[in-house]
Structure 1
Amino acid sequence: MLKTFLDGRKLPFTVDITEGLDRSAEQNRLAFKWYGEISEQTGEDIEDVRARCKLEIGVPIMRRDSEKFCGTYDRIVRPLPHADKLDLIRDTEMPVTSLMKVKQMTEYLDLMFRRHSEFGIVLTIPPDRFAYDPDRRMAA
């Protein structure tokens, strides 16, 4: 289908093909649920929680996995003081997690869970939809 679509396009044009799946809506919902739970348990503003997680967890993942992100971040953002980085991410909604693929977002969520659990913060663990569930099987 892609070849047929491209054959019908007028030249010149540019195409970008990227490996991997975009992060899932399920992952997005879980991240925002956890931002809220962290905020409720710590008293930290939810947007501050989100910015801190993006900076401290998401940025290292994206710097490791994307030369383009790393180059731009290191040139423009990295020299800033920590508080200014948080303000930038929070106030501009700087893309970090929105750039992630499913695998990267999985790592982000895993690190977010581990880091906050170490401080006694309780986060919702979603049910494993692939696990054996005899009750679900009986209902089917």
Structure 2
Amino acid sequence: MSKPKQYVSRAGTLQEALATVAKLAGVVTEAIGRWGEVEIIVRKREKRRSWEQNKLQRLWCKEAATQGDMDAEEYRGYCKYHFGLRILCRDSETYRQACKQVLGGLTYEQRLLLMQEPHDYPVTRGMTTVQKREYLDLCWQHFTGLGFRLTDPNLKGMDPAQYKEAA
């Protein structure tokens, strides 16, 4: 039997929270009818990785491709496998178990291919900004340690104000 879909609502202001509360009675009624029992959780929302962080990651992979022996997508897959999985598996038992199930029987080469398009195993898209910062730091250390020249993370090739949460 498949896991039922969760109901998630996010609020950043009191007005948004009150709008969510107004919908709650209908959502809870439907959920109880569907599942019998429900659990209602209110918690601090962890911000997901930013568009700017993702853009920086892609830029670095393109830059590495001009200096190394792989294309940008291969470097992206390499980083997701070697750095991203480590972070997410460390921080989530659920993610760690899912990785064991999906990746456990695959060869190293198959795992790297799974990280890349067209498969694109989800790694960085589930990261918080803090996790993505750590990931970018690891990518920077890896590539610059190999002697690659990347866009300076303090400038990031764009307006530095856009990258406050990046490494």
- Normalising to structure 1: TM-score of the pair? 0.83
Give 1:5's aligned residue. 20
Pairing 1:41–2:67 present:
yes
CA RMSD, Structure 1 to Structure 2 (Å): 2.1
Query: What amino acid is aligned across from residue 51 of structure 1 in structure 2?
Result: G
1:4, distance to aligned residue in structure 2 (A): 3.3
Pairing 1:63–2:89 present:
yes
1:86, distance to aligned residue in structure 2 (A): 0.7
Pairing 1:76–2:102 present:
yes
Gap runs ≥5 in structure 1? 131-140
Pairing 1:93–2:150 present:
no
Query: What amino acid is aligned across from residue 125 of structure 1 in structure 2?
Result: D
Query: What amino acid is aligned across from residue 125 of structure 2 in structure 1?
Result: S
Counterparts of 2:74 and 2:102, CA distance in 1: 21
Query: What amino acid is aligned across from residue 47 of structure 1 in structure 2?
Result: E
User: Any idea what the Cα deviations from partners look like across 1:47-74, whole Å, max 9, x if unmatched?
Assistant: 1111111001101001001111101001
Query: What amino acid is aligned across from residue 47 of structure 2 in structure 1?
Result: L
Query: What amino acid is aligned across from residue 75 of structure 1 in structure 2?
Result: Q
Of 97, 100, 103, the residue aligned with 2:130 is 103
Q: What percentage of residue pairs aligned between the two structures are identical?
A: 28
Counterparts of 1:92 and 1:33, CA distance in 2: 20
Number of matched pairs:
130
2:151 counterpart SS class: coil
Counterparts of 2:122 and 2:81, CA distance in 1: 11
Tell which deviates more after alignment, 84-93 or 103-112: 84-93
Specify which structure has the bigger relative contact order, considering alpha-carbon pairs within 8 angstroms and separated by 6 or more residues: 1
Give 1:137's aligned residue. none
Give 2:146's aligned residue. 119
